[in-house]
Amino acid sequence: MEELQIAKLPSNFKVYEIDDYHAINCDKEAKNFLDIINEAKKENDVQRYIKSNQKWFIPLSILKAYDFGHHFSCVVPEFQLGSQYRLDYLLVGKNSLGYQFVFVEFEDVNVDFRIKTANAETEKVRKGLNQIRDWKRWIDQNRAYFFASEGIKEFANNVPSWGFRYCLVVSRRDRMDEISNQLRGEMQSETRVTIMTYDRLVEYVERLHNGI
């Protein structure tokens, strides 16, 4: 298998190697990020902090939820799926089986996960899941186009058939009661989407010093 040449990747493919992770003051960065999400009124407040300060390791830390990324890790902000959709972040990780992708959607921070009067998700959760369903359909219909796109073609020959994952980041842990956690578990099983709170993201950033 031909070795990946990082220099061939477009400049918006933000690759993190082990020295980059070692350079992160994880405790400080996690605290700063927690302050941001505590103050955030909407998802754009979080996105603005990440992008204006180039804190790409924050979304990249989501790879901690998976079993790949320790051989290679990369994040692409606002990756475009054709002309129709745009991801918040595309993550690329590698393990011994090859490269895998995580399509990431950020939704609002300080919102409830479920409707208090019903065992159903709130509008923000539903919106995020619907967006991811659209991405899944697009990939099913345009996989060859995706693999031929700039940057992605460098990974295309070493991706397992199951190498597409999806993640929704929404809400806060203190807004998740027992019923909310049960509902989230059911939704993850049904949709095969990883659903996590912003607090989980803070914990992942705390653990980044030795990489993914």
Residue range 190-205: average pLDDT? 97
Q: pLDDT (tens digit, 9 = 90+) per residue, 87-119?
A: 999 999 999 999 999 999 999 998 999 998 888
Q: pLDDT (tens digit, 9 = 90+) per residue, 120-165?
A: 899 999 999 999 999 999 999 999 999 999 999 999 999 999 999 9
User: Does residue 1 carry a pLDDT above 60?
Assistant: no
* Domain boundaries along the sequence of the chain: 14-206
Q: List the structure tokens of 197.
A: 């709170």
Mean model confidence pLDDT for the chain: 95
Percentage with pLDDT > 70 across the chain: 99
Decide if 20 contacts 74 (C-beta within 8 A): no
At 141 the pLDDT is 97
At 10 the pLDDT is 97
User: Domain 14-206 belongs to what topology?
Assistant: Restriction Endonuclease (3.40.91)
Residue range 188-204: average pLDDT? 96
Q: Which helix (H) or strand (E) holds 76?
A: strand 72-77
Residue range 6-35: average pLDDT? 97
